[in-house]
Chain A
Amino acid sequence: MNAINGLRRNDQPIYLDYQATTPMDPRVLEAMMPYFTTKFGNPHSRSHSYGWEAEEAVEKARAQIARLIGGDEKEVIFTSGATESNNLAIKGVAHFYKDRRNHIVTLVTEHKCVLDTCRHLEQEGFEVTYLPVQQNGLVDLEQLRAAITDKTVLVSVMAVNNEIGVIQPLKEIGALCREKGAFFHTDAAQAVGKIPLDVQEMNIDLMSISGHKIYGPKGIGALYVRRKPRVRLVALIDGGGQERGFRSGTLPTPLCVGLGEACEIAMKEMESEATQLRKLRDRFLKGIQAQLPDTYVNGDMEQRIPGNLNISFAYVEGESLIMGIKSLSVSSGSACTSASLEPSYVLRALGVEEELAHTSLRIGFGRFTTEHEVDTAVDDIVRHVSRLRQMSPLWEMVQEGVDLKSIQWSAH
């Protein structure tokens, strides 16, 4: 239980919530530090070397991001994070083309900020189709094809789901959008640096990127905006006209540098990291399934990033389990809505029954997860699930052979 790269102290729980946020890679922090101290200039200051060195750093970062996704650096716009990127992409395109096309297609399992933005656009008079997903969490391409009309301006489908880690068929969706003349936006906050992405090959027109999901800093993100064929946007934030007018505001140089460095590291290490994470994940799952009956993985196991599992531990309520496994930091449902009692809308969309949805945990592995941590986590979870099942009236009934569905539950 030694501190990993100085990231974790012995008294801290084991962090298994890498889809909520990732620790910063020490190399990223190192790259950022000079821009907090000696190289503190405003990158938009044109009149002195403080400004120039900051600008140079920002442009280097822009190129690092572009390289990771196969885009051109001129196509990368810095934002304050994936939430802003998603808001800008969807509202920006919708508002710019509203006189010609007013229909948007998205999925019911998108991140809250995509869904909320779409709902807001509906209030403004846009039409939005929220497509269901299949039981494995993936979009049905035929349904998608049928949903896109000649009024569709934008198809927004996330690359990787934040709760269940499934990877949507981006290349196929991109081809479909190109064929139908709709722009393709993908929220790739959970995908960048985890799986190979290529905006050319996948015909992605807009891509949202987050810093803190890829071992970079919080408060920075990016939006890829294709130039050929050109995608146009109405800006969300106006002012100094920075970022080609798409996004005004002083660029936070250290954060830009951090995001760039995080992309650079991901580019070099993505492949080996994926292998390592797959190993850890399989070890975890094997450990759980060998010791606990009635556990179910939600979402496709093949089309899935290696660092994610979402497991239902039947007959044990998720929050009580989290309270028990104090030495582990995991999440039930999505972190953004963790204070609410509603079961995850993503699991519901997969057709996971509500009683099972309430028993689900999201477990995220990442760059600094060790084998030892995985083993400790398995032991802890097995112990607490067993204890809570002993306490569970549902488990007792099932052991007695009662069919839970035959019971008239009081609606509460």
Chain B
Amino acid sequence: MMTLRAYLDHNATTPMRPQAIAAMGEVMREVGNASSVHAFGRAMRAQVDRARTSIAALVGAAAADLVFTSGGTEANNTVLQAAGRRRLIASAVEHDSVRLAADGIVPAPVNGDGVIDLGALQRLLAASDEPALVSVMLANNETGVIQPVAAAARIAHAAGAVVHCDAVQAAGKLEIDMAALGADYLTVSAHKLGGPQGVGAIALRPGVAFAPMLRGGGQERGRRAGTENVAGIVGFGVAAKIALRELPRMAALAAWRDKMERSLAQLAPDAHVFGCGAARLPNTTCVAMPGVAATTQLMALDLAGIAVSAGAACSSGKVRPSHVLAAMGASDADCASALRISLGWTTQADDIERLVAAWGDLNRRLSPANRPAAA
């Protein structure tokens, strides 16, 4: 069944690493609340601490400065209120879990490639004396475009702001050093890098302000209440360790992705790859097949056994234009025909060949460019 289907939607969720599943399976056969002092509880605590070290290493943080959450969305929501700043500025292409986490977030514009406009950020910061929080993602989930976080952080810090970096899509795909990025808060999610759904983390610069969102119980040094999801955390730890070890393999993935884009361009010279002028994640392509609705493309590809997505997958079923592509100045027509193809650790060369073949076939049959009479 797996061989018949080609899963190219790794930015939505990526299959778990078998080693992570195995480690979780063991934990789930054990019993224990990591806060209990008896032997069961202490064994759980030790497992949590080991995972904490692995995940901290993935982002260049200290283990003591890592707070586990139920996922990237909770992590992002928490950070936006934890800093205690009322003035919030976020790049216009942030994930909804940042963009909608609070009222009155001021969007910082991006250029046509989806890269934050640093001059505009500087002007926004200068518009008021009130200390702000600036949120800039490391890499975009829809386009894979990498943001100049370090440069944005320098500007933000000079204006007295603190900086949050949403690294949910970047973790495991790029080398991350939160100090080098200048991030005060950095958020990650397990299921985007081969760990389980239901776990995320916030890495903190030592000493940064932090008001908890979930209260009661005192877990995570009082920064996030609730019984620890030990199995999930352990799975996250194992996946983080593997992801860090396999970062060098990302270059090969980028080569496949680039070859795929060249093939698509040959098949349809009018196809447009979003963010192609910027640095991007090695695994992501966001491509528009002009004149063919994304939903039509998705259905046809699904019938061919190929799983990709249109825009962000995390919306609750409503078909709405992508705020990311809109912020990049894409036309409605371009937005409506954009597909996200995202590769991952299980991707094989023939997955890509099948995608290219099916996409080419689709383009031949449906693209207005190939049906001059219909125009």
Contacts and interface: CB of A to CB of B under 8 A. Distances in A.
B234 to A, nearest CB: 11
A120 B28 CA distance: 34
A240 interface: yes
Nearest to B295: A47
Contact of B16 (A22, A29, A40, A113): A40
B13 A42 contact: yes
B12 A15 contact: no
Contacts, number: 279
Interface string B30-59: 111101111111000000000000000000
A84 B226 contact: yes
A239 B226 contact: no
A7 interface: yes
A48 interface: yes
Contacts of B219: 336
A209 B324 CA distance: 36
Contact of B197 (A48, A115, A252, A339): A252
A23 B197 CA distance: 20
A72 to B, nearest CB: 19
Contact of B314 (A47, A218, A250, A330): A250
B230 interface: yes
Interface residues of B, number: 80
B197 A250 contact: yes
| Interface of chain B, main secondary structure | loop
Contact of A49 (B216, B225, B307, B315): B307
A254 interface: yes
Nearest to B314: A240
A111 to B, nearest CB: 7
Interface string B290-333: 00000100100110001111101111111000000000000000
Interface in B1-48: 1-2, 5, 7, 9, 12-16, 18, 21, 24-25, 28-33, 35-41
A37 B227 CA distance: 25
| Interface of chain A, main secondary structure | loop
Contacts of B309: 45-48
A335 B37 CA distance: 8
23 contacts: A21-B33, A40-B13, A42-B9, A42-B314, A47-B307, A48-B309, A83-B217, A114-B216, A116-B216, A218-B228, A218-B230, A219-B199, A238-B96, A239-B95, A239-B98, A249-B71, A249-B72, A249-B73, A249-B74, A322-B37, A331-B37, A335-B36, A338-B41
Interface of B: 1-2, 5, 7, 9, 12-16, 18, 21, 24-25, 28-33, 35-41, 69-74, 76-77, 95-102, 189, 191, 196-199, 213-219, 225-232, 295, 298, 301-302, 306-310, 312-318
Interface of A: 6-7, 12-13, 15, 17, 20-24, 26, 29, 32-33, 36-38, 40-42, 44-51, 79-84, 86-87, 111-117, 120, 210, 212, 217-220, 236-242, 244-245, 248-255, 322, 326, 329-331, 335-339
